[in-house]
Structure 1
């Protein structure tokens, strides 16, 4: 079966679906058919917004994200209460690789149009791209009724809940609504969970045997991104860029967060990462299963410096055992400011706050020093690390943990508030950092 032929129809659905807007009427007449000045002004604004929105849609279709952004911003500025224009703006930001701005635009769209499932799905994907997995999972949970299960299942897996994503997709795969897209989303979710035998079996249902190994190799690269934005950027076929944020003048005059408790400023990707290859479909796994291995098998890792590597929680092996806590330093000067906040290491906790992935343990040691100076609470804990390979290059993952989930979430939030980058995950072979070990010390196998 030709999976590419089955799935190519979803290429533009996420970027362009639901945003087709036509020219508005010239405005209502009043006073016996004579338009007032305010009526004429509103009519001109409506006409100008429709014109710019139409041009933005053409720019999107031509993969010209930068041009689409400016035009969509103009449309929103002219008619700020239009859910359609806000949706178009979010999609323009997505194509331009500006994920934090996209998150804001889709949140505004949902406020104006609470039943817009595409906006909810796009919001969750934007939150994944900014590293805010918890907010993405909340968005998916709150809007579960309006997001198709096929898309919601893979979005859950991308947001770190691979068990939940697999459960959703398995139910659909066993129903009359099962399709190649459902099965490929399920296969990818198994891959993200590290369940490769299951991924192979499900993927093979719609692929030629000769293509399965190549597809699994592609997914293996996709499952270990160097930056939080890599996976969503790859789905969209775009390059993540530094995002200045949505212009303040375009703010919607309503409470901003759609999901209570979601921080307004999401975690930004550490570095832009370009995914080569032709533009990929973005209707979830349609992008990843739309052709021979391309794009993800050529993921370009950025310059060797601090990066945030997002790994789905189901891929992690239990670390086991409590974290060793270093003696707390005397609280003087800057340390006094954070002394009131303490996260106690749980004796059986298996949740970690990952601070980055680095070229070597030596670079990670320097990063730990900077992190502890930024957030003095970290000085009360012993850093953890583990070496891994990605695309043939060695990296060293830096974390602190042994916490309960709630304690890890609290610490990461506090660290982000100081300007740091982090995310919460389960144990992945985390052990005492190399620079803390005495000569000849060996760590017990896990």
Structure 2
């Protein structure tokens, strides 16, 4: 089975996609072998179209292949890749889900599914997908996908050991460098990027990463790394929907056993602030709120921080801190901190923390439940905010 891999400067080696057309099976015959052969023919034409970057033709040919052989998992995955290259993330996610339904061990489809879930803002589902297929996805690919899904600490736990191996390549090092940049560790990211890049290319690479660190929409990072232009998506054609097998009738006297419970291997931190349209706070409050760090429970010191936002300078960040305290005074238990984005910019990243990972995750969840935006990251040289002394906005 061919593995789909992330290569080069944080790009993902995927086959391409294009615009959908009306699908009709090219071989309307009852001969299954003829239809299978016809499906293979169109699948091959789709692959050639992907190589030529003819996304529309790739989608059309792969849709015919799936229509002729709907139970073929490889054709379903190919269809997902075509949709993904065409910028149709919702349809791509459905195709990859169908491919995994047909072939549970298709780790290439799982990696692509996680990327499309990130692109549509389903970060929790993306992390669960990566956890379920952790053993089948190469560490450089899984680490970068975790970073895109918002689990920066988990991404570093995967990428750092991989980068220390003697066989570590440029892709592994660059994926780690990008993840370090997302956590705000720009000096370390620069040093690692320079290991494989000429000196005149390092600044350009870091400038690209700085733009990706502040996405305006959920799909921005995935689209940029894959070189994809997001497009309008009418959804997967009804004719291509995967029909689940009919359930087997169970005798009334025998109770059917409950389905196994899926347990994610990753403790999901709060999703990164990628939602382009704010969600009303009321819509985020579940029936039973998760337990969050409160005044009564002491916080455990550690190396994790909540990044609350990036501001024009430290003075502007002070207003951001005031707003955060008005939204949730519990944050006043901790001293506000921050870091400059880099030496060439006055951009100031407001943070708060210095606590254990579990406490940071719970604090960020609580803040998001109150309409705030944050994500959890490792310490990156955070220093006490210069305007903390005498602030009257601390929690009482």
Q: Shorter-chain TM-score: which interval? A: 0.5 to 0.7
The residue number in structure 1 matching 2:100 is 110
* TM-superposed deviation, 1:117: 2.2
2:232 & 2:67 partners in 1: Cα distance? Answer: 23
The residue number in structure 2 matching 1:172 is 162
Alignment partner of 2:148 out of 158, 176, 185: 158
The residue number in structure 1 matching 2:49 is 59
The Cα offsets for residues 377-427 of structure 1, whole Å up to 9 and x where unpaired, read as xxx999x9xxx99xx9x9xx9xxxxx9857987998x99xxxx9x987349
2:232 & 2:50 partners in 1: Cα distance? Answer: 20
* TM-superposed deviation, 1:107: 1.7
The residue number in structure 2 matching 1:13 is 13
1:12 & 1:158 partners in 2: Cα distance? Answer: 12
The residue number in structure 1 matching 2:210 is 220
Say if 2:236 is the partner of 1:246: yes
1:181 & 1:170 partners in 2: Cα distance? Answer: 13
* TM-superposed deviation, 1:191: 0.4
The Cα offsets for residues 178-202 of structure 1, whole Å up to 9 and x where unpaired, read as 1111111111110011111111121
The residue number in structure 2 matching 1:425 is 375
Runs of 4+ in structure 1 displaced over 6 angstroms? 9-12, 348-352, 406-412
1:214 & 1:158 partners in 2: Cα distance? Answer: 20
2:177 & 2:103 partners in 1: Cα distance? Answer: 33
Superposition map of 1:359-370 within 5 A: none
- Normalised by the length of structure 2, the TM-score is 0.62
Say if 2:130 is the partner of 1:140: yes
- Count the aligned residue pairs: 313
8 Å CA contact retained: 1:343, 1:411: no
8 Å CA contact retained: 1:139, 1:259: no
The residue number in structure 2 matching 1:101 is 91
The Cα offsets for residues 31-72 of structure 1, whole Å up to 9 and x where unpaired, read as xxxxxx9762x2332233223222322322222223322322
The residue number in structure 2 matching 1:185 is 175
The residue number in structure 1 matching 2:66 is 76
8 Å CA contact retained: 2:360, 2:376: no
User: For the structure 1 residues 426 and 168, does the alpha-carbon distance in structure 2 shift closer, same or farther, using more than 3 Å as the test?
Assistant: closer
The residue number in structure 2 matching 1:366 is none
The residue number in structure 2 matching 1:44 is 34
The Cα offsets for residues 108-141 of structure 1, whole Å up to 9 and x where unpaired, read as 2122222222111111111111111111111111
* TM-superposed deviation, 1:345: 6.4
The residue number in structure 1 matching 2:196 is 206
8 Å CA contact retained: 1:351, 1:424: no
The residue number in structure 2 matching 1:130 is 120
1:259 & 1:99 partners in 2: Cα distance? Answer: 28
1:149 & 1:410 partners in 2: Cα distance? Answer: 31
> Which ranges in structure 1 are unaligned for 5 or more consecutive residues?
1-6, 17-26, 28-36, 263-268, 272-305, 309-334, 358-379, 398-402, 430-440
Deviates more, 1:172-181 or 1:223-232: 172-181
The Cα offsets for residues 316-365 of structure 1, whole Å up to 9 and x where unpaired, read as xxxxxxxxxxxxxxxxxxx9xx996667765289999x9x99xxxxxxxx
1:171 & 1:203 partners in 2: Cα distance? Answer: 17
User: For the structure 1 residues 411 and 109, does the alpha-carbon distance in structure 2 shift closer, same or farther, using more than 3 Å as the test?
Assistant: farther
**Per the alignment, in what secondary structure is the counterpart of residue 145 of structure 1?**
helix
8 Å CA contact retained: 1:343, 1:407: no
2:367 & 2:261 partners in 1: Cα distance? Answer: 21
1:49 & 1:342 partners in 2: Cα distance? Answer: 50
The residue number in structure 2 matching 1:293 is none
2:85 & 2:227 partners in 1: Cα distance? Answer: 8
1:128 & 1:210 partners in 2: Cα distance? Answer: 32
